[in-house]
Chain A
Amino acid sequence: MASVSFLEGPLIGGRQLPGGGLGWLDARREAGARRFTELGLPTQKLESWKYTRLRPLDGTCYQPVAASDDTPRIDAVPGIAGTQARIVFVNGRLRDDLSNLGDLPEGVRFMPLETMLRDDPEWVEAHLGTVAGDGPDRGESDQAMLALNEAMMDSGFVLHVARGVRLSKPVEVVYLGGFNDDAIAYFPRNLIVLEQGAQATLVKHHVGQGVGAYFANAVTEISVGDGAIFRHYKIQAESIHATHVTTLHTRIGRDATYEAFALSIGGLLSRTETSITLAGEGAHCGYHGAYMMRGNEHCDNTSVIDMAVPHTSCKQVFKGVLDDEARAVFQGKIHVARNAQKADGRMLNKTLLLSNRAEIDSKPELEIYADDVQCAHGATSGQLDTTALFYLRSRGIPEALARNMLVQSFLGDALDEISDETVREAFLDRVIHWLPAHCYLAGEWKESA
C-alpha cells in the first residue's frame, strides 16, 4: 500500500534527515509518522478530496533519494531575473552550487531549513507548526499530507524578516524534480515569518524536467506580522510524471497584507490546499491563481479563507484554461466568523474549456456567521467566444494566434492581480509559452500592455 511505503522504505534510519538528533524534532517526526499511518492517504470519501484521487501514488513506491545519490547535473535552472537570492533543490537535495544567498540586508534570514536547524534550532522549534498546527478550527482534510510532511521533511527553507525590515527585491526558491530512474519523493518544509512592519516578496518554482516519476509533498507556513506585507508567488510547472501536493497555511496579522498568486501550468496530478486566517483587524488577503492544463493533467485548488475578526477583506480570482482531457477542481470557501463584522470577501472562479472532454468542478462557498458583511462569489465555465474569434480572424489574424490572444485575454485580469511588475511579466511569459504555436513575440505584448 502506498501509504505505508513512504515510511517503511530502506531510507528511514539510513539517511540522516535534517535536524536528526534534535529531540523535539525527532518527536515531531515520530508523531507525524504515527498520525499518517493512522489516517492513510486521503480518499474521495473526505469532502474536500471528493474530486481528486491521488491515483499516481497507487502501487508505486516513491522513495527519497539516498544521501549517497548524486543528484543530476543541471545547467539551467529556471528562474526570474533580478532576484536578490536563490535557493535551489534538485530532487529534494540542496544544491549549494546552484544556490546564491547573495547579500541579504541586516535582519533578513533566508536559508535552507537544514542550515537553520544547525544555526538556530531554537528559532525553528519556536515557529515550526505554529501556523499549521492541529488547531480546533482546522479541518481533517489536509492532515494526512501535513502529517506525512512532518514525518519526512527533508528540504525546504526559512525566510525570516525582522521587524520593520523591507526586502526590496524578490527572493527565490526552486524545487527541481525529474532526471531519475526510480520513483522518488521529496518533502519540502518551508517556514516564513515576517515580523511587524516587515516586507518581502518570494517566488517559488516547482519545476519538473526530464523523465522519471516523482512526488513532491510540500508544506509552507507563513506568519505575516502586524502591518507587514508579504507577496508570495508560485509557479507550478511540474513534469507530466509529477504528483505535486502543497499544503499552505497563512496567518495574517492586524493591518497586514498577504498577496499570493499560484500559477499552475504543469503536473500530472497537483493539489494545492490553502488555509488562510485573517487574524487581525484590518488584515487583507489577495489569493489568486491561474491554471492551464492539457493532456490528462489534473489540477486541484482548494482553499479556505477564514475571516476571523472584524474589518478584514479578501479577494480571490482564479482562472483556468483546460484543453484535451484535462481536469481542474476549484473549491474555495470564505468563512466569516461570528462577530467578524464589516468583512469584505470576494471570490471568482472562471474556466475556459478548449475541449469538450475537459472538465472543471467548481465549488465556491460562503459560510457567513456575521450579519454586517459584504461577500460575493461567482463561478462560470465556458468555451472560447466564437464571435470574438471571428472578429479577430476577420482582421486577418490566423485562427491559432486568435485563439492564443483570447486565452491570454481571458487570463489577463487574474494576472493583473500580481502587483510586482517583474513577476507579473515573468508569469505572463510562462502563460504565453504554454500556449500552442506561440507565433508572436512575448516582448511585443509586454511593451504595449
Chain B
Amino acid sequence: MLEIKDLHATVGGTEILKGLSLTVLPGEVHAIMGPNGSGKSTLSYVLAGREGYEVTGGRIIYMGEDLTNLEPEERAAKGVFLAFQYPVEIPGVPNSTFLNEAVNAVRRYRGETELDKIQFIKMLRAKTKELGMSDEMLKRAVNVGFSGGEKKRNEVLQMAVLEPKLSILDETDSGLDIDALKIVADGINAMRSPERSSIVITHYQRLLEYIVPDKVHVLAQGRIQRTGGKELAMELEETGYAEFAGEAA
C-alpha cells in the first residue's frame, strides 16, 4: 500500500523529516505517536501534498506509484485521504455541495460517471445514517459553527463518502470528549477492510483503545525511532517520550 523510504522534507527551509522510513501493508492500521514538534503533522501534509512542504530526499511509493510530484487533488482521486487536525470552516458553501463537488471531482478523475443529484443524496443519506449524523449538518456551511466533535465527525463523513484506500488521521482525537471519540472511532473502524489502510497520528494512547493498531511507531526528531505492537502505546503512556526527545525537546 505505502512505502516511505528515507524521506527528507523541509518546511520554510527547515528540515523536519530526516530520513523517515515506513511500510504499511494493505488492511493494516499503523499508529504514529510522538512528542510535539517531532514531525507528525508534517508527515501527514507531505503525504497529502500540501504546498510548502517540500520533499528533499527519499521516496513515497503508494500503490506502486511515486506520489511526490502529484497535486493534492490527484492524490485524493487515487485514494489518499487526510483527516485534518483542524478542519477548515468554509462559510457560504453548504456541506452537501462540498461533498457533492468532491465526490464528482474524484469520479471524473477516475473516468467514472458523475452521480446525479438524486443518486448523490441517496448515497449521502446512507452514509450519514451509518455514522449517526443528522441531515441538518449537511445543510449547514462546511464546518461553520460546528462543535469540535461535529467537525471531526464531518471529517469521518468525508472519508466515508470518498472511500479512500489510505487514510491519514492527524490527531483526530484532539479536542474530543470520550463520547465524541467513540463515535469517531466507530466511524473509522467501520471503514476497516483488507483493502484499506490507515495511519493514525496521535499524541495520546487514548484513541488507540478504540482503534486498535497493527503497529505502533514512535516518531521523534524527524524519523521513526522505534516500532512495536499495540503494547508499545501502553508503554509510552507510562514512560512518556523523554527517551526519544533528545535535542528536539
Query: A interface vs B, CB < 8 Å?
Result: 385-388, 390-399, 401-402, 405-406, 408-413, 416, 440, 444-445, 447-449
Contact = CB atoms under 8 A, between A and B. Distances in A.
A387 B88 contact: yes
The 10 closest A-B CB pairs, nearest first, are: A412-B92, A396-B76, A396-B106, A393-B72, A395-B102, A391-B88, A409-B92, A448-B97, A396-B105, A393-B73
A392 B100 CA distance: 12
A408 B102 CA distance: 16
B166 to A, nearest CB: 13
A394 B101 contact: no
B94 A406 contact: no
25 contacts: A388-B88, A391-B84, A391-B87, A391-B90, A392-B90, A393-B72, A393-B76, A394-B50, A394-B81, A394-B82, A395-B73, A395-B76, A396-B102, A396-B162, A398-B73, A399-B71, A401-B101, A402-B73, A405-B101, A444-B97, A444-B100, A445-B97, A447-B117, A448-B100, A449-B94
A390 B162 contact: no
Contact of B102 (A397, A399, A410): A397
Interface extent on B, as a size class? 35 or more
A81 to B, nearest CB: 22
B96 interface: yes
Contacts of A388: 88, 90
Contacts of B98: 392, 395, 405
Given A409-B91, A412-B93, 14 more contacts: A390-B50, A390-B72, A391-B88, A392-B102, A394-B72, A394-B73, A394-B84, A397-B73, A397-B101, A397-B102, A402-B73, A409-B90, A409-B141, A449-B97
B92 A401 contact: no
A167 B91 CA distance: 33
A448 B94 contact: yes
Contacts of B109: 396
Main secondary structure of the interface of A (DSSP, over half): helix
Contacts of B76: 393-396
B51 interface: yes
B93 to A, nearest CB: 5
B48 interface: yes
B97 A399 contact: no
Main secondary structure of the interface of B (DSSP, over half): helix
A448 B96 contact: yes
B77 interface: yes
B42 interface: no
Interface in B55-99: 71-73, 75-77, 81-82, 84, 87-88, 90-94, 96-98
B158 interface: yes
A393 B101 contact: no
B31 to A, nearest CB: 21
Nearest to A445: B97
A449 B76 CA distance: 25
A447 to B, nearest CB: 7
A319 to B, nearest CB: 11
Interface string B179-214: 000000000000000000000000000000000000
A398 B90 contact: no
A408 B81 CA distance: 25
| B49, B50, B73, B81 — most chain A CB neighbours (10 Å) | B73
A218 B139 CA distance: 42
A401 B50 contact: no
| A385, A394, A396, A401 — most chain B CB neighbours (10 Å) | A396
A399 B96 CA distance: 19
| A402, A409, A440 — most chain B CB neighbours (10 Å) | A409
Given A390-B72, A448-B100, A408 B105 contact: no
A405 B103 CA distance: 15
Contacts of B117: 444, 447
